[in-house]
């Protein structure tokens, strides 16, 4: 064999290797759509796919969008393969399943495929106003047992701080919502959850938990936002049905007293698991408007509160006290609001009392 022929064969082989290598990193035409993602405000991986999916090898990304760049370099599957960003068998106890600092990766699920989403840095934020909608796309039309939307508390800086459960406040949620009640779109269904805040400025994160209905699968999405954009009118959401309790017994409730006083409080356990439960309280103004409210829950034994939302919730011995948030203290006559909390231990029926500022 001549030397020139050997060189041509060698070159041909090298070209084949290069072509095969390039083919291995070419992304599919669209994201894997068996499940879903938060498309607005875009989750970290959906936003990176949206901005760079057609040019993910462009070196300009390293300076124009460095957090997306590090995520693409870590594992391109993170951006288009959404199917694995979930945990099974959590039974509602998300804090126990996912450690602080790992909320965006679902507790480093799927062997660490999504770990880059936990990286602290200057992720590209979506501009939002103090009212906006969170849009969840469901490519498999699973529907939801529930969807919960959290926003980080004022003062949290996602550019320098890893996300912890204690940084979050629950700002919107819906319960059992079959896919038939979502909006039909190309490739699946989608649903909007309204968020209404007040006085927020600067950077924040939105954290969405989607409990899909087809199995005990909990999906987790981090979105970066910058308050100061245009507000979106709240959408009309389907009627809320509380999540089904994981406890074998019915959820205990306290009967609602007649709303003849300044305010009344109705307590229920919306879900429970071994070692903890979620309590929810409905506060209703009486025959006159109120400017603020405080609810006391007297339990038969001591309580430990892990997290509260829509109120400042604290426990002292056997008494849990909740004071309204800045946005839900003022209630018109007969109007209602709700707050909730997660507590350790076994659920029990407390005596609920409500005091209002008129």
Instruction: For domain 36-227, give the CATH number.
Output: 2.70.50.50
Q: What is the pLDDT of residue 239?
A: 38
240-264 pLDDT tens trace:
333 333 333 334 444 444 344 689 9
Helix (H, G, I), strand (E, B) or coil at 87: strand
Residue 340 has pLDDT above 60, yes or no: yes
Output the pTM of the full model: 0.61
Helix (H, G, I), strand (E, B) or coil at 295: strand
The residues spanned by each domain of the chain are 36-227, 263-357
CA distance 278 to 298: 16
The DSSP code for 292 is E
134-148 pLDDT tens trace:
999 998 888 999 999
If you average pLDDT over residues 227-241, what whole number do you get?
56
CA distance 27 to 31: 9
Q: Which fold, 263-357?
A: Immunoglobulin-like (2.60.40)
Query: Which tokens sit at 250?
Result: 């019915």
CA distance 101 to 225: 18
Better-predicted residue by pLDDT, 340 or 73: 73
If you average pLDDT over residues 323-346, what whole number do you get?
83
End-to-end CA distance of the chain: 100
Q: What is the pLDDT of residue 358?
A: 86
Better-predicted residue by pLDDT, 325 or 225: 225
> Which range scores top for mean pLDDT: 10-19, 37-46, 347-356?
37-46
59-115 pLDDT tens trace:
999 999 999 999 999 999 898 877 789 999 898 899 999 999 999 999 999 999 999
Residue 17 has pLDDT above 60, yes or no: no
């Amino acid at each position: 064999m001549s030397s020139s022929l050997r060189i041509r064969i060698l070159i041909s082989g090298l070209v084949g290797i290069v072509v095969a290598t390039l083919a291995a990193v070419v992304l599919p035409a669209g994201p894997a759509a068996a499940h879903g993602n938060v498309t607005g405000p875009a989750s970290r991986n959906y936003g990176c796919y949206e901005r760079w999916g057609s040019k993910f090898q462009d070196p300009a990304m390293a300076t124009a969008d460095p957090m997306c760049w590090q995520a693409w370099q870590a594992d391109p599957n993170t951006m288009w393969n959404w199917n694995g960003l979930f945990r099974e068998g959590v039974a509602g106890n998300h804090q126990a399943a996912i450690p602080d600092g790992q909320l965006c990766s679902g507790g480093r699920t799927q062997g660490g495929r999504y770990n880059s989403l936990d990286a602290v840095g200057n992720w590209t934020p979506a501009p939002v106003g103090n009212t906006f909608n969170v849009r969840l796309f469901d490519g498999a039309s699973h529907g939801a047992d529930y969807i919960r939307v959290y926003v980080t508390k004022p003062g949290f800086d996602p550019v320098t701080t890893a996300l912890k459960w204690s940084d979050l406040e629950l700002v919107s949620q819906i319960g059992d919502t079959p896919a038939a009640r979502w909006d039909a779109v190309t490739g699946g269904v989608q649903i909007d959850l309204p968020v209404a805040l007040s006085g927020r400025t600067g950077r924040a994160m939105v954290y969405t938990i989607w409990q899909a209905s087809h199995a005990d699968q909990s999906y987790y999405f981090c979105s970066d936002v910058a308050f100061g954009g245009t507000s979106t009118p709240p959408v009309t959401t389907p009627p809320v049905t509380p999540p089904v309790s994981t406890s074998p017994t019915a959820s205990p409730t306290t009967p609602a007293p007649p709303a003849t006083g300044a305010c009344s409080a109705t307590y229920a356990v919306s879900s429970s698991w071994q070692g903890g439960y979620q309590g929810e309280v409905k506060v209703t103004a009486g025959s006159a408007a109120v400017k603020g409210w405080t609810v006391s829950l007297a339990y038969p034994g001591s309580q430990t509160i892990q997290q509260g939302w829509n109120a400042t919730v604290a426990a002292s011995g056997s008494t849990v006290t909740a004071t309204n948030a800045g946005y839900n203290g003022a209630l018109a006559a007969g109007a209602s609001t709700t707050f909730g909390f997660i507590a350790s231990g076994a659920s029990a029926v407390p005596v609920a009392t409500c005091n209002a500022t008129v």
